[in-house]
Amino acid sequence: MLLEDDHLIIRGMDPVFRHYTHSWKNYLFLRCRYRSDEVKVLVVGDSGVGKTSLLITYVTDSFPHQYIPSIADFDHHIIGTVEGQNINLTLWDTGGGEYYDRLRPLSYYGRDIILLCFDIRDDSTLLSVKEKFIPDLDKHVPNIPRILVGCKSDLRITEPNSCVDKDQTERSANALGLHYFETSSVKGHGLQTCFDKAMRMGLDYSRLPRKGKQKLYHSTPKKMIPPVKPIKEKPPTFVWEKSTFAEDWLQMLNNPKYSDVMFLLGGGRHECEAHSIVLSSASELFCRIIRNHKYSGSVGTSEDTIFDKVEGIDTIFGTKHIDGRNIITIEINHTFEAVTFKQLLTFLYTGDPGTILETYKTEQLTELRRAADTFKLPYLNNICLNIENDEQFLNKSIAEYLNRGTGQRMKELYFNQTTDCDIKFEVEGEHITASTVVLYCRCPVFADMLSMESENENVESPEIQLPDTHLCSFLALLEFLYTDHASICDVNGTGLLRIADKYGISKLVNYCEIYIINMLDKLTKSSSDYAVQDIIDALLTAQAFNAEQLTRWCLHTISTNYDTFQNTEQFSQLSDQTKKHIETNRWPPLPYLQDFERFERRRQRRKCSIL
């Protein structure tokens, strides 16, 4: 039963704790305050980490399920026990918000122990303890002992992946010279152990004479912590350029040049130009019709089509163009509309029939599937079925597969062949043949060269000589123009990169960059003695031939291994601007090295003073 004076004390307390004053700990305080030693405990930390809940749960043995905001510099008194002796324990709560930063230091003075609280689920609150509260305490009360407290330890069971690493936190606490405890106000775990240690440390500190308290901080110098080495940046990621194979050939279909096939549509009312090299590579049926007619040498109506019984083709005949080119003219049956057959041609050139109008979707797809059946194009049927089922996303994979097949077939039929090739090159004494259509379509530099030669139509183009060009690299470049792929592993990657940049083929430059990066990365990991020279050479080549991704990778590798590269003879080959960039981004960075050097000097001075 509480005395009348006890009720007066209870009424004078803050409303936040008034509800909990009937606990046995408060009762002992009210009855035994005059007989006890006193320890004053202060808790600090960010807002919401659990400081108030920690105090209330310890005082009342009951967790406050509703959030109770802390009130700056609020104190509460209970009786604690240390080694059988009653201790008058004064608990002080503080606000963690920024608006208390100017008031909080007033609570520091006259305390015996300070609990530094953080939320184990939020590593930013632990960072605040290290970077905000500890420096503030060092400034105002450097000699008061402290304990690091991790609140909400029950979350290690319910949310283990979101909590800070316990071992690492303990190591950090040891480096700071702090004891570390984890507590759970919800479960009541760890509170008694934490406060028992706080009472022992606070009691020892409170019993010191005033001069002893002032000397305490100076008698135990803080542990020297070396500067933290910055984390090494990850190497830059490389990006694969998108293939332009379909777009290049579609442009040739829409703006035909060097065409050698003429389709007559709608009973001869419409004409559509095309290229036999694409038709033969994309369709077995057109390959048989066009190549058989081309090699028969006949000019005029061909009877082959009648015997082949191709339902959609009426006649085939050959004519001579004014520039001497042989033109194969194919008359398509009038039952096929011009729009439908042009979509079929678009499919042969790109692997996709193009846009299907929603207004006439059903009619267009029906006609397109009939054309696909007639001209033996099963994948066009599949594409139409996907469009009908609203599964157009599947058509992208089909188009990529068909374009790879078209390129491979084009290489087999037309790459460096004695027939069907109308342009010749001389490289390292060897004679290489190629198709004008492919060069004009796939290479911007060759397109400009051919356009200049076509201005004088009466002059026959001689064999083009390519000095200072390696045969293997040039063949790999031609293979890429035909197939959109190149066997880089069979040639010198750096040499192929040079010739790819010379002829403006950015996609092939991209392929070479990634291939060289992978090779150099393997060489670097194997700690080869040749890695330094190879990386410097690759950087110089990349800078000279517009290989931006390879340049970034080499600069990163040299910068992050600065000590390995800076004292080599090859490093002097780099330009002043490149050296400046590397030194600016070097790892470890120069400020860290300077801080570490100062740390070593202080450590040596302290060691000498101790000796």
Instruction: Note whether residue 329 is domain-resident.
Output: yes
Instruction: Note whether residue 234 is domain-resident.
Output: no
Nearest to 198 by CA among 152, 149, 267: 149
Instruction: Name the one residue in this structure whose structure tokens are 């950015």.
Output: 506
Residue 213 pLDDT > 80: no
For residue 334, give the amino acid letter: H
Residue 73 pLDDT > 50: no
Same domain? For 407 and 432 the reply is no
Q: Is 503 helix (H, G, I), strand (E, B) or coil?
A: coil
Q: What is the pLDDT of residue 96?
A: 83
**CATH code, 126:** 3.40.50.300
Structure tokens at 323: 């520039």
Confidence of residue 323 (pLDDT cuts 50, 70, 90): low
Q: Select the more confidently predicted residue: 303 or 419.
A: 419
Q: What is the pLDDT of residue 285?
A: 92
Burial per residue of 197-236, b for 16 or more beta-carbon CB atoms within 10 angstroms, e otherwise: ebbebbbebbeeeeeebeebeeeeeeeeeeeeeeeeeeee
Phi-psi region of 150 (alpha: psi -120 to 50; beta: other; left: phi over 0): beta
- For residue 343, give every residue at least 6 positions away whose Cβ sits within 8 Å of its Cβ, in sequence order, or none: 353, 354, 364, 368
**CATH code, 262:** 3.30.710.10
DSSP 301: B
Residue 610 pLDDT > 70: no
Same domain? For 410 and 427 the reply is no
Same domain? For 31 and 117 the reply is yes
Q: What is the pLDDT of residue 487?
A: 84
Phi-psi region of 324 (alpha: psi -120 to 50; beta: other; left: phi over 0): left
Same domain? For 203 and 260 the reply is no
Report the predicted TM-score, pTM, of the whole model to 2 decimal places: 0.61
Q: What is the pLDDT of residue 75?
A: 52
| CA geometry: angle 436, 437, 438, nearest 5 deg | 95
Nearest to 51 by CA among 115, 103, 105, 108: 115
Q: What is the pLDDT of residue 606?
A: 67
Q: What is the pLDDT of residue 2?
A: 39
- Treating both helix axes as pointing N-terminal to C-terminal, what angle do 506-525 and 493-502 enclose, rounded to 10 degrees? 160
State how many domains the chain has. 4
In this structure, are residues 338 and 265 in contact, taking their beta carbons and an 8 Å threshold? Answer: yes
Confidence of residue 403 (pLDDT cuts 50, 70, 90): very high
Same domain? For 405 and 431 the reply is no
Confidence of residue 324 (pLDDT cuts 50, 70, 90): low
Instruction: Note whether residue 427 is domain-resident.
Output: yes
Instruction: Note whether residue 493 is domain-resident.
Output: no
pLDDT in tens, 300-321: 344 444 435 678 898 888 887 7
Residue 428 pLDDT > 80: yes
Same domain? For 250 and 205 the reply is no
pLDDT in tens, 237-284: 888 899 999 999 999 999 989 999 999 998 888 999 999 999 999 999
Query: Got the DSSP string for 387-431?
Result: HHTT-GGGHHHHHHHHHHHHHHHHHHHHTT-SSS--EEEEETTEE
On the CB side of 504, CA atoms within 13 Å amount to 11
Confidence of residue 29 (pLDDT cuts 50, 70, 90): very low
Instruction: Note whether residue 17 is domain-resident.
Output: yes
Q: What is the pLDDT of residue 450?
A: 85
Same domain? For 519 and 595 the reply is yes
Same domain? For 449 and 578 the reply is no
pLDDT in tens, 101-120: 888 888 888 889 999 999 99
Instruction: Note whether residue 78 is domain-resident.
Output: yes
Confidence of residue 299 (pLDDT cuts 50, 70, 90): very low
Q: What is the pLDDT of residue 306?
A: 42
Same domain? For 48 and 165 the reply is yes
Structure tokens at 227: 């500067």
Same domain? For 307 and 393 the reply is yes
Average pLDDT, the chain: 83
Residue 161 pLDDT > 50: yes
In this structure, are residues 476 and 505 in contact, taking their beta carbons and an 8 Å threshold? Answer: no
Residue 564 pLDDT > 70: yes
Residue 538 pLDDT > 90: yes
Q: What is the pLDDT of residue 451?
A: 82
Domain boundary pick from 368, 396, 414: 414
Confidence of residue 4 (pLDDT cuts 50, 70, 90): very low
Same domain? For 398 and 379 the reply is yes
Q: What is the pLDDT of residue 294?
A: 63
Range of the domain at 527: 509-611
pLDDT in tens, 452-511: 766 555 445 568 888 889 999 999 999 999 999 988 887 888 999 999 999 999 999 999
Residue 27 pLDDT > 60: no
Same domain? For 455 and 577 the reply is no
Residue 232 pLDDT > 60: yes
Query: How many beta carbons lie within 10 A of that of residue 244, not counting itself?
Result: 15
In this structure, are residues 561 and 585 in contact, taking their beta carbons and an 8 Å threshold? Answer: no
Instruction: Note whether residue 111 is domain-resident.
Output: yes
Domain boundary pick from 362, 387, 414: 414
Domain boundary pick from 202, 219, 236: 219
Sign of CA dihedral 387, 391, 393, 396: negative
Instruction: Note whether residue 545 is domain-resident.
Output: yes
What gap in Å lies between CA 57 and CA 279, rounded to an integer?
83
